[in-house]
Every structure is written in C-alpha cells, then in structure tokens.
C-alpha cells in the first residue's frame, strides 16, 4: 500500500495539467443568414434576407473563413460539386443556393421534405406578405427578413420591401393584373395573331391590334428608342415591298409567306421561362464543403460519409435547418467514436448542450488525464476543466481510502468454507498486489483500477481458492466493496434484459455531467 503523500505527489502533475489549461472564449452564437428570392421568370430576381435563429446553433461556422480556399488574388475558390447539383445535370434543380463562392442547383421538392426551414423558405407564406393577395402584389417578390421583427408590428407597409424595377415586360410590374389575367391575355393575343388570315394581316399592318400583338413578343418599344426607329423603318420597307407585290400579282402562295413570317418573328416569351429559377438562397455563414455534405445526405441517390473533419459542421447545420435525421446520424457517430477524440467530442457536447455525449466523452478524458495536450484542453470551457479536476480529486481520495481497508479483518467467507482464515489471507495478498499494480505505469486510471481492484484481473498469480463457492463469494465481496466506495449504481433495470448487455457498471465508470449531478445517497463501505 502506498502512503497518502506519495500518492498525492504522483497524481499532482495530472491535476496541474487539467487545472492550468486556460479557457478560450466560446465562439459567439451564429444564426442562419440566407437570401431568398422567389421568382416566376429566369430574369426576374429580387433579393430578400432570411435569418432564422435556432437554439443550440453555436458558432461552428466561425472557422469557415479561415479554412476556405483562396487563389493568388485573394478570391475564394469554388469547390467541385457533385454533378447532381450542377446546372448541366440531366435533371437540374431550379433552386439556386450560393455558399461562399460555390453555387448549388438543388431541387425544391427534396429541400421541401428534408428541412422545415427550406419548407417555410421556399413556400413563400411569410407573415410579411400574408395581408395581401399573392396574385395582386406590387412585385413578384418582396423583401422578407425574419431575423429581426418589423418596426411596427402588424403594419403591412413596413413589412413589405420596396420592389426593384423590372425591365422584362410591362405586365410584370403591374399591380392590378392577376396572374390568371396575364396568362389569359397572353394566350388570347397569341391566338388572335395566328388565327387571322394573311390578307387581314397585310391589310391591317398599321392597326392598333397588330401593334399590341407585336409588342407582346418583342417587349415594350418605348424602353429602347433605337429599336423603335429600326422597327418603324423595317415596317415601312415591308409595306412598300408588299404594295409592289400586290401590284405585280406576286402574292400567289400565302402559305410560304406565313412560314417566312413565323421564322422572322422573334421567339415567344414562354421559351425564355422554360426553366425558371424558383428561388435564390444565399447562406452567408456556412462552409461550401459542409453544405455539399448536407445535400449529399438529404438526397436519396447520394451517400454522405460522416467523419471527424465534418461532423461538427454537419451537426451545426442540422440544428439550424432542423434536420433531425442528420442530428441523429451525427450523434451516433460521436457516441461510437468518442474514444478517438474525446476532447473534441466534449467541445461539441458543450456547444449543442448534449448531456449524453458530454458524459460519454468525459469518461475517456478522465481515464487519461495527462494524455491530452494543452492546446486541446484550451478548446473546452473553464467550467468543464473545473469539473474534470474535481472529479479527478474525488477519485483519488476514494482510491486512497479504499487502500486503507483491512481485507483480512473484514472479509468473511461463505458458510460452506472449510477454512475461512486461509481464504481471507489469500484474498488479502491478491488484493494488495492488485492495488500496487494500479500505480505501476503512472497515475491511476479509472479503467485500470476497475480491472485490478473490482475484477481482480491482470495480476499474476490470479486469485485461486480451494472451493468454487469460496472463489465466487470472494469476487462478489470485492466487487461490492468497490461499488460502495465509488458510489456505483448496480441496480438491475426493470423489464426484459437486452441480449448482449452486461450487468453492472462500466469499465470507464468515472464521468462528469453537463448540468450537474443529482444528490446521491451516502453509502459507507465495509470496514470503514
């Protein structure tokens, strides 16, 4: 048995390593900053800001600017995206998402069902526009900002932003023309143009109806004086030629002239909006690589690999965009791989307030207190460092107190034992050898102490008593002494036993709780 002073000095370096780490201030809480631009034509794009804030979405993206790739001119370099998110895909998406310098073309239906955030963003049912008929707005899109409340609650004029001036067509900016009326007028005017015979078209070249039909296809001539003068000269020249054709009697094949007229006419507006952009979303505080992995996760034909280099960003964006399936996948990875990087797992648990992850990661940190560099310890908070130090001190105090137990005087063998004194003396020798082995390779580790002093394993020669009943009783008595000393809960849970589950405490029994531990009932070890 080691004296109290030697044990305290042996573990002093471990306590100083935990206590001397300085906390670096946690990154500020971040929010989703996005720009949504619902449009009905490819050329009508109006910008609007979106910024929903969610609890627990801490500043993981604060390191995005430092890790982004830049070229020689200091500009961000776009990443290489999957062909599914390219505009040249066989079935391209119509939602344009800009993250850093990379543009993703996603599909509205996939985003709608994957994230409630995108469902609300792409639906357009905002409180700012709920007071008006969507078909009679002054603009196709309005400035929508949900990160800040409106200056005057309930005032639609203060909520709706000032629309941009549109040069696409005169019917786009009219406020008293509904979408149905616009479509019907376009169809009727086009049918009037093609239903008239060639003779009526030739005789009514300068009529107002013909001018209106031509303006529908070619746009508003008042916006461009040069094009207006060119059109007038072209019309005058065509009228002179057609007058000469009438005088010469050359107009004998109207079908050929009709084909020429169709070829010379400008293409209709419907061809320009065959693939319209449904929305434009700009994510200002996300990394392009993280969002690329997010899209690969939500698309059914793609696979996203979660690893230590992207789990923090994916967990952050999953909480921001309210994707519970991605949160579960990230949590499953962190719980099963916490032994690899427990310090990073504890930091993520602190940022997102995950109690289970915090507890599991602290088990591996406490099991090797001197195995972590100071740079990693600085990433967790001062409160967590204090918890780790207090838990380590408590463990060492209980271990020293356990070493003062007089096994031979307190142990009583089973009633069928032929010689209880020999069993008690043998158990005392093996237990003292196991206690000394706990400090063989440096400061005591909870997992090694559990193996040596509770299971009586790893010590040569092993405990061997004459009768099997004495052997079982001795190991049970030592395990009970260990559990009482370290306040381990050995209560068997109610209900059916899970196949493969082990009863009793775990080997990494020492842990810290994120929100404090509930008060425990005081227990006294045997012989203390």
Q: Locate the domains of the chain by residue range.
A: 1-18+383-493+501-528, 34-163+275-298, 203-272
Q: Is the pLDDT of residue 451 over 90?
A: yes
Query: Over the stretch 401-432, which tens digit does the pLDDT of each residue have?
Result: 999 999 989 999 999 999 999 999 999 999 99
Q: Which long-range contacts (CB under 8 A, 24 or more apart) does 54-57 make?
A: 54/319, 54/320, 54/322, 56/319, 56/351, 56/352, 56/353, 57/29, 57/30, 57/31, 57/32, 57/316, 57/319, 57/320
Place 58 in a pLDDT band, splitting at 50, 70 and 90: very low
- What is the model's pLDDT at position 260? 55
How far apart are alpha carbons 159 and 176 in whole angstroms?
20
Query: Over the stretch 139-196, which tens digit does the pLDDT of each residue have?
Result: 334 333 333 334 433 444 444 443 333 333 333 333 333 444 444 444 444 444 444 4
Contact 443, 18 (CB under 8 A): no
Q: Is the pLDDT of residue 18 over 60?
A: no
- What is the model's pLDDT at position 207? 41
The whole-number average pLDDT for the span 40-44 is 38
Looking at the chain, the whole-number percentage of residues with pLDDT higher than 90 is: 44
Q: Is the pLDDT of residue 117 over 60?
A: yes
The whole-number average pLDDT for the span 133-137 is 45
Report the 10 Å Cβ neighbour count for 334: 26
Q: Poorest-confidence range of 200-204, 312-316, 445-449, 454-458?
A: 200-204
Query: Over the stretch 214-268, which tens digit does the pLDDT of each residue have?
Result: 333 333 444 444 555 777 888 888 888 887 777 665 445 555 555 555 555 555 4
How far apart are alpha carbons 282 and 298 in whole angstroms?
19
- What is the model's pLDDT at position 160? 41
Question: Residue 137 to residues 125, 134, 159, 292, 477: CA-CA distances in angstroms?
Answer: 13, 6, 13, 35, 80
Place 41 in a pLDDT band, splitting at 50, 70 and 90: very low
- What is the model's pLDDT at position 462? 86
Q: Is the pLDDT of residue 386 over 80?
A: yes
E strands present in 109-260: none
- What is the model's pLDDT at position 258? 58
Q: Which of 453, 444, 448 is nearest to 369 (CA)?
A: 444
How far apart are alpha carbons 42 and 275 in whole angstroms?
7
The DSSP call for residue 375 is H
Place 342 in a pLDDT band, splitting at 50, 70 and 90: very high
Place 128 in a pLDDT band, splitting at 50, 70 and 90: very low
Contact 143, 161 (CB under 8 A): yes
Q: Which of 469, 455, 436 is nearest to 506 (CA)?
A: 455
Q: Is the pLDDT of residue 23 over 50?
A: no
Burial class (CB in 10 A: 0-12, 13-18, 19+), 148: exposed
- What is the model's pLDDT at position 505? 63
């Amino acid at each position: 048995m080691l004296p109290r002073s030697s044990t305290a000095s042996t573990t002093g370096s471990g306590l100083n390593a935990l206590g001397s780490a300085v906390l670096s201030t946690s990154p500020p809480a971040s929010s989703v900053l996005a720009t949504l631009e619902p449009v009905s034509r490819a050329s009508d794009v109006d910008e609007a800001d979106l910024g929903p804030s969610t609890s627990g979405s801490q500043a993981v993206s604060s390191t995005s600017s430092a890790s982004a790739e830049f070229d020689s001119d200091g500009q961000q370099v776009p990443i290489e995206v999957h062909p599914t998110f390219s505009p040249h895909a066989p079935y391209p998406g119509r939602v344009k998402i800009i993250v850093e310098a990379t543009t993703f073309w996603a599909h509205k239906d996939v985003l709608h069902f994957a994230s409630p955030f995108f469902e609300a963003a792409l639906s357009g049912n905002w409180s700012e526009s709920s007071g008006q008929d969507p078909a009679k707005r002054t603009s196709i899109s309005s400035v929508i900002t949900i990160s800040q409340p409106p200056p005057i609650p309930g005032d639609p004029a203060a909520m709706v932003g000032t629309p941009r001036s549109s040069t696409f067509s005169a019917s786009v900016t009219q406020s008293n023309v509904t979408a149905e009326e616009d479509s019907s007028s376009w169809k009727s005017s086009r049918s009037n143009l093609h239903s008239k015979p060639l003779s009526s078209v030739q005789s009514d070249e300068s009529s107002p109806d013909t001018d209106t039909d031509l303006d529908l296809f070619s746009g508003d001539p008042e916006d461009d004086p040069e094009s207006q003068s060119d059109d007038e000269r072209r019309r005058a020249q065509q009228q002179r030629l057609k007058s000469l054709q009438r005088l010469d009697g050359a107009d004998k094949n109207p079908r050929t002239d009709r084909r020429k007229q169709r070829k010379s006419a400008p293409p209709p507006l419907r061809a320009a909006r065959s693939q319209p952009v449904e929305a434009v979303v700009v994510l200002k505080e996300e990394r392009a690589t993280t969002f690329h992995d997010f899209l690969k996760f939500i698309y059914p034909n793609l696979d996203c690999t979660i690893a230590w280099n992207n789990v923090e960003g994916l967990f952050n964006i999953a909480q921001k965009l309210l994707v519970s399936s991605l949160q579960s996948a990230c949590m499953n990875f962190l719980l099963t791989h916490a032994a690899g990087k427990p310090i990073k797992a504890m930091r993520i648990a602190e940022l997102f307030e995950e109690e289970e992850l915090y507890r599991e990661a602290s088990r591996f940190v406490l099991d090797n207190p001197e195995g972590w560099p100071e740079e990693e310890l600085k990433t967790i908070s001062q409160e967590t460092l204090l918890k780790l130090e207090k838990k380590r001190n408590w463990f060492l105090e209980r271990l020293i107190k356990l070493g003062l137990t007089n096994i031979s005087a307190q142990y009583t063998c089973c009633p069928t034992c032929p010689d209880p004194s020999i069993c008690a003396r043998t158990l005392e020798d093996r237990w003292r050898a196991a206690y000394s082995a706990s400090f063989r390779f440096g400061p005591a580790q909870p997992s090694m102490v559990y193996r040596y002093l509770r299971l009586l394993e790893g010590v040569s020669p092993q405990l061997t008593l004459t009768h099997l009943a004495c052997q079982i009783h001795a190991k049970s008595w030592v395990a009970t002494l260990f559990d009482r000393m370290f306040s381990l809960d050995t209560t068997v849970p109610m209900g059916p036993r899970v196949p493969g589950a082990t009863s009793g405490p775990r080997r990494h029994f020492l842990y810290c709780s994120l929100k404090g531990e509930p008060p425990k009932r005081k227990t006294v070890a045997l012989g203390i």
